[in-house]
Amino acid sequence: MLAIFLKTVPFFALIGLGYFAGRTKFFNEEATAYLTKFVFYFALSALLFNFAANLTLAEIFDGRFIIAYLWGCGIVYLIATAVGFLRGLTVAESAVEAQVATIGNVGFLGIPMFVLILGPESAGPMLMILATDLIVFSSLIVILITGSREGRITMRTLRTVGLGLVKNPMIVSITLGIAWSSTGRTLWTPVNEFLTILGAAATPGALFAIGASLAGKTAERLSIAGWLTFCKLVIHPVAVGISAIYIFPVADPFAVTVMVSAAAMPVAGNVYMLAQHYGVAPQRVSAAILVSTAVSIVTLSAVISLFTGGS
């Protein structure tokens, strides 16, 4: 575990540097917002396109892999939702908490980290997980929140979901990358080098932005944040692992390692953006992101070590 932990330290150190810059106001909220926008629309999009363009569709898409991942996520989603209802929460609040318990920081933290720790071959499974999270669960939370407020699911709700997917640069870049890969052509050298240079900014930029954004978050209602963190960092990888190993066995052990490790990622920042946009428990989500990110410094290394033998 120590070897894996030491490999993850630089990533969390960059997050810590961003957090320090945010807490000292050297990097204010406006600067953080613009850095996040740069990473989201440019650097990370270039990175994802480059990965997808250099992989075949068969290397990215695996039906059993997706089913196993969705089953594990679905169990956690239902557990978090049921606990929310037992606590007397509304449908919207329960949906947000279920999203917190299920969606990890795959895009900004997971892909850069896993490519370095587990190797470039982890890119294919990670792209599948990222696309599944964005298409299935980001759509589901919008449908549940708007549907509960309006009392029914309307065409306007579905249109909002569809537009959100079409406008999401991560989905667009993955789709375009796969489309280019299907042509069988290699990228023109200057284009490939341009994307490589731009994509290289994704890792430090994303990690710094995560830390700076955490500086503005508070750890209020720690009991709830602790429960949601436990769901995300413990129940989620366990459920996904059981699904991928026993219920819908995935043939490739490496793919299982990537899937379970991805499930052990801390809560994604875009859940907070959705909660804030709809005005549903943003402080609760903020606390869960802060706590889960801090705790995952240890738990993520433990999960990766468990599946890789610590090397």
| Cβ–Cβ under 8 Å, residues 90 and 148 | yes
Q: What is the pLDDT of residue 153?
A: 75
Can you tell me the distance from the alpha carbon of 151 to that of 291, in angstroms, rounded to the nearest whole number?
34
Contacts 24+ apart (CB under 8 A), 119-125: 121/254, 122/254, 122/258, 123/51, 123/55, 124/55, 124/59, 124/60, 125/62, 125/65, 125/254, 125/255, 125/258, 125/259, 125/262
Confidence tier at 219 by pLDDT (50, 70, 90): low
Can you tell me the distance from the alpha carbon of 283 to that of 281, in angstroms, rounded to the nearest whole number?
6
Confidence tier at 223 by pLDDT (50, 70, 90): confident
Q: Note the pLDDT tens digit of each residue in 11-52.
A: 999 999 999 999 999 999 899 999 999 999 999 999 999 999
Q: What is the pLDDT of residue 76?
A: 97
Least reliable range by pLDDT among 97-106, 195-204, 301-310:
301-310
Q: Where are the alpha helices (DSSP H) in 63-201?
A: 63-86, 91-102, 111-117, 123-132, 138-150, 155-167, 169-182, 189-200
Confidence tier at 220 by pLDDT (50, 70, 90): low
Confidence tier at 94 by pLDDT (50, 70, 90): very high
Q: What is the pLDDT of residue 302?
A: 94
Reply yes or no on whether the pLDDT at 311 is more than 70: no
Q: Is 181 helix (H, G, I), strand (E, B) or coil?
A: helix
Residue 112 tokens, joined: 């850069």
Q: Note the pLDDT tens digit of each residue in 153-185.
A: 778 888 888 888 888 899 999 999 999 988 888
Reply yes or no on whether the pLDDT at 245 is more than 90: yes
CATH for the stretch 2-308: 1.20.1530.20
Q: What is the CA radius of gyration of the chain?
A: 19
Can you tell me the distance from the alpha carbon of 242 to that of 231, in angstroms, rounded to the nearest whole number?
15
In this structure, what is the dihedral angle of CA atoms 299, 206, 213, 133, given to the nearest 10 degrees? -60
Q: Note the pLDDT tens digit of each residue in 103-155.
A: 999 988 999 899 889 999 999 999 999 999 999 998 999 899 988 887 777 78
Q: What angle do CA 178, 184, 188 make, to 5 degrees?
A: 90
Q: Note the pLDDT tens digit of each residue in 251-280.
A: 999 999 999 999 999 999 889 888 888 888
Q: What angle do CA 295, 296, 297 make, to 5 degrees?
A: 90
